Structure 1
Amino acid sequence: MLSNVEDLRNHLQASIIFLNQFKHLTDAYIIEYFTDSHWEKLPGSWRSFLDDLEPPDLAEQLLGEGIKNGRQTSVCPLSLLCFKRCSRLFALQRPALHCSNNATGQNKLLKHIYRKHVSPKKQHEISILAKVIEKTFLESNCSHVIDAGSGQGHLSRLLTLGYDLPVIALEREETFLEEARKFDVEAMNHVKKVCEKEGELRHPPMQVPTHVHCSLPPDEGAKHFIQKLSDATRKKVGGNSADNPHFMLTGLHACGDLSATMVRLFKESSSIKSLVSVSCCYMKLTTDSINNDACDVTRASQIYYPMSDYVGSIANHQLPYKARELSCHAIEDYRQRLKENGPHLKMHCYRAVLEVLLTRQHPDLIRVGARTVKKAYNLPFTEYVKRAFQRLNLPPCDVTMLCSSNIEEMLNDWRHLVTYFTLSLLLAPVIESIILMDRLLYLKENGFRSEISSIFEPLLSPRCFVIIATKES
C-alpha cells in the first residue's frame, strides 16, 4: 500500500491518465449498446480476438489469469494485454483474505445472538470489522464508538455486548432505529440469561441509538453534529462525566456522501480521534459536474469527490455518474456468472434491444428506468417487451418493429454485448481505487496517520476496503 504522499499523488495521476483513455467504456450505458454502436468503438484487433470467445473464456481471459482450456485460436493483441495489466496495476489489491461462508451458511465465529436477524454477508462483515474497530479504539484512547448509519444496529450490538465498547448508533431512518431497539432488548435478555446460567451476571453497556442527520457538510454542521454526539454521550453515561468525550467514528458501508462526510468530520473535529470507514454506493456521491474551483471554499465543501487538494487541482478531471456506478459492480461475482454461462447473461441484451424499440417508438424517452421484469431470461423476447411496456405505462409495442429482422440479429449478438460489459468491468476496481485513494490523500495532506486495507472477502462483500485514520494523542 502506498504510504508516501508523493507516491500517492503520482499513482493517482497515472491512474487518472489511464482511465481517461477509456471513457468510451467507463461512461457508456450498456442499455445503449446498440443505439450507440458500442462494439464498433473497440479497436479492430480487440474485436477480432474477442469475437468468438464464450462467457467462460471471458471469465479466464479478461477477469482471470488467462485461457486454461485450450480454446484460444488467435494471439491476444499487446494493447489488450496492456489494458488488462494496467487495470490491475492501478487498482487496490482485492485478495481473498478469509474463508467465506456459502450463500446460505452462518458465520460460526459469531455467537448465535449476533447471527440472529443478520444475513451471512453481514455476519462476515461485522465479525471482521468489530476486531478492527476494537484495536483502533484502544490504540487511539477513545471514550466512545460512534456508529454512523447504523441501520438495524447489528455492528453496534456486537461491539457493545460482545466487546464491551460504549457505542452510540446514529441512524436517520426511524424504522431502522425501532428495529434496532427491539433487537437490542432481545439480545440483552439473552445475554442476561446466559450470564445468570453461568453464574457470572454482568451488566454490559446499553446501546443508545440517537437519530442524527449525518449528511451535513463539516464546515456548516460539524459543531452541531459533535454537540449532538456529546449530548448523546452524556445521556448514555449520565451527568457531566463525559464533558470532553473522545470519539471513534465508524460506519459499515456508509452510503454515498455519508462515508465522505465522516472523513471530513474526522478532519474538522478535535473530538473525533480515530476513523474506521467502509464505503459503498459511490454513484450517490456529490461531485462537481464542471470542474473544481479551489478558490470557492463553500462550493468545495459541498463536493465529496474529489476531496484531496491534489486531485482537485487536476484540470478537467471528472468521474461522471456512470463511471461511479460502474465502480460499485461486483467483479468477482460476475466472473462466477460468466463461468456458469447461464441464461441470465442474455438479460443485458434484452434490455439493450428494448432501448432500441423505445427510441424508435418513443424518442422522448431517454435511459428510462424500466422496472425489472422478474426472471425475464426465461421469457420469449416478445413477452419481455410486452411486460416492460406495461410497466412503463406505454401502449403495446408496434408488432412490425418486433418482427423486423434486425431485432433478431441484435438478440443473437448477446455475446458481443457481454464481452463489452466485461471489458468495462475491468475498470471498476480502478475507479473505486481512485475514489478511496483520493480520500486517503486528503487525510495525509492534513497530516493524519491513515491507511487502506482489504478486510472482507471480495466474493462475499465486494466493497471490501476500510480506511483507518488516527490523530496524535
Structure 2
Amino acid sequence: MSTVVQRVASRRELGSIMDLGAGQGYLSRTLAFQHKLHVLAVDGSEVQTCGAKWFDQRALRSRPSDGELNHVTDMVTPENVSTLLARWSKQQEDEKWLVCGLHACGDLSSLMLRLFIKSNAITSLVNVGCCYHFLTEEHQPRNNESPSSSIPAGFPLSGFVKDQLDYRMGSIAHMLACQTPSRWSDKQEETLKSFEHHFFRALLQYIMVEKGLAHVDKPPIIGRLNKKKDFVSFPVYVQAALKRLQMPQDAISIEEAEAYYAEFKTTRQMDKQIAILWTVRALLAPLLESIVLADRWLYLKEQLADIPDSETKGVWMWPLFDPITSPRNMVIVASK
C-alpha cells in the first residue's frame, strides 16, 4: 500500500500525504520514515493517536528518518478539511495533497472520496475500504418524500446507482458483503466454528420468540461476545447473551437451553440446514462487494467528468493484496 501511495505521489509531484483514519499509524510511519514523505496522520480517537505517537518514538530510536510525521486527533469534514490542511502545509499557500486510507472503515471511505472531489487542495486519492456493515445507507424516498437525514450516507454515492438504478442494498446485504468464502478452505476449523455460532444465534432467537422475550420481526441485538469463553456450549452462550441483553439469567434456564439444543441439533439437525443457508448467502459476498466498489468508482468518474482532461486525470481500481491474507484487497486510485 505504501508503495502505491509513494508512486502516485511521485508521478503527481506531491510531497504531502493525509492518512485519514490512521489508527496506530502503521501506514503513516512507513510513508514518512521509509519513503520520506510529509505525512499528516488523522484519526478521530485520541487513544489511537497517543498509541501511534508511542510507536513513532520506538521506530525512531531504532532507525532515524528524514521524513516528517504529525499526528492529529480530529473529525475531518468537507467543510473543515481545507483549514486543517492549510495549518499543516509546508508551503505558504496552494499546497496540493494526496489523501489515503488503508482499510478505512465504513463511511470513512465514502468521506475520503467526497473530500477528494470537493477539496481543491486534494488532487490524488488512494483508498482501500473495509467494514461494509458499518456503511450508512441513504433513505429511499417515496413519491415526494425527502431524504430523512441531511448527513450524506456512505452508500450509494454515484448518481447512476442512486438515481438511475434506484438501488439500495439494505443492512443485511452490507453485512454479507464483508464475508469471505474464499478463505473457508484455508481456515476450515474457524469456518466450522462460525457455522456453530450462527446456529447458536438462530436457536437463541427462536427460543426468545417462542417464550415471548423477542418479536420475530425485531431480532435482539446482542453484539460481539467473547469467542473463547462465551461459545463453550449453547447454555453458556445463552447466559452470556442474556447478560448482554440485560435480561434475567433465569429467563432461559440452563436446563431449557440444553433441551432445545438437543432437540434442534441432534433430532432435527437444524445446524446443518443453517450451515447450508449461510453458505448460499455468503457466496453472494463477492457480488455485493462489487456493487459497493463499482458505486465508488462510478461516483469518482461522474464527479471528475467536468474537470478538463489531463495526463494525470483518471480513476483506477485493482486487487492489491492476497485475498486470503486480506479479503478487502481492492485499491481505488484517483487523480484530478
Q: How does 1:168-179 map to 2 (within 5 A)?
A: 168-179=40-51
Find the aligned partners of 1:266 and 1:303 in 2 and give their Cα distance: 16
Measured after TM superposition, the shift of residue 179 of structure 1 is 1.3
SS at match of 2:41: strand
Cα pair 1:327 1:429 within 8 Å, conserved: yes
Cα pair 1:373 1:388 within 8 Å, conserved: no
Provide the residue aligned with 1:137 in structure 2: 9
Provide structure 1 residue ranges, at least 5 long, that are not aligned to the other structure: 1-128, 193-202
Deviations 1:326-370 (A, max 9, x none): 111222223434488745532221221111111112343632233
Provide the residue aligned with 1:462 in structure 2: 327
Change (3 A) 1:347 1:377: farther
Provide the residue aligned with 2:24 in structure 1: 152
Cα pair 2:43 2:72 within 8 Å, conserved: yes
Cα pair 1:253 1:279 within 8 Å, conserved: yes
Which of 268, 284, 309 is the equivalent residue of 2:159? 309
Find the aligned partners of 2:4 and 2:62 in 1 and give their Cα distance: 25
Provide the residue aligned with 1:48 in structure 2: none
Cα pair 1:210 1:232 within 8 Å, conserved: no
SS at match of 2:324: coil
Provide the residue aligned with 1:283 in structure 2: 133
- Larger RCO (alpha carbons 8 Å, 6+ apart): 1
SS at match of 1:456: coil
Find the aligned partners of 1:163 and 1:264 in 2 and give their Cα distance: 26
Provide the residue aligned with 2:285 in structure 1: 428
Find the aligned partners of 1:243 and 1:333 in 2 and give their Cα distance: 48
Which of 306, 310, 330 is the equivalent residue of 2:180? 330
Cα pair 1:282 1:325 within 8 Å, conserved: yes
Find the aligned partners of 2:176 and 2:193 in 1 and give their Cα distance: 22
Cα pair 2:16 2:39 within 8 Å, conserved: yes
Cα pair 1:254 1:278 within 8 Å, conserved: yes
Q: Does 1:213 align with 2:79?
A: no
Find the aligned partners of 1:173 and 1:333 in 2 and give their Cα distance: 31
Cα pair 1:343 1:377 within 8 Å, conserved: no
Find the aligned partners of 1:228 and 1:373 in 2 and give their Cα distance: 39
Measured after TM superposition, the shift of residue 416 of structure 1 is 1.8
Tell me which structure has the larger Cα radius of gyration: 1
Deviations 1:199-258 (A, max 9, x none): xxxx502311122203x3x3xx1xx2111111012xxx4xxx331110001001111111
Which of 413, 438, 445 is the equivalent residue of 2:302? 445
Provide the residue aligned with 1:368 in structure 2: 220
Q: How many residues align?
A: 321
Find the aligned partners of 1:348 and 1:332 in 2 and give their Cα distance: 19
SS at match of 1:418: helix
Cα pair 2:239 2:249 within 8 Å, conserved: no
Provide the residue aligned with 2:309 in structure 1: none
Give TM-score, length-normalised by structure 2: 0.85
Measured after TM superposition, the shift of residue 411 of structure 1 is 6.2
Deviations 1:247-299 (A, max 9, x none): 00100111111111111111112211100011111122221232499997996
Percent identical across equivalent pairs? 28
Find the aligned partners of 1:157 and 1:204 in 2 and give their Cα distance: 12
SS at match of 2:72: coil
- Indicate the structure with greater helix content: 1
Q: Does 1:204 align with 2:66?
A: yes
Deviations 1:131-179 (A, max 9, x none): 1001100111223011001111111111111011111111111111111
SS at match of 1:152: coil
Kindly provide the amino acid, as one letter, of the partner of residue 57 in structure 2: V
Cα pair 1:292 1:312 within 8 Å, conserved: no
Q: RMSD of the alignment, in Å?
A: 2.9
Provide the residue aligned with 1:355 in structure 2: 205
Kindly provide the amino acid, as one letter, of the partner of residue 86 in structure 2: S
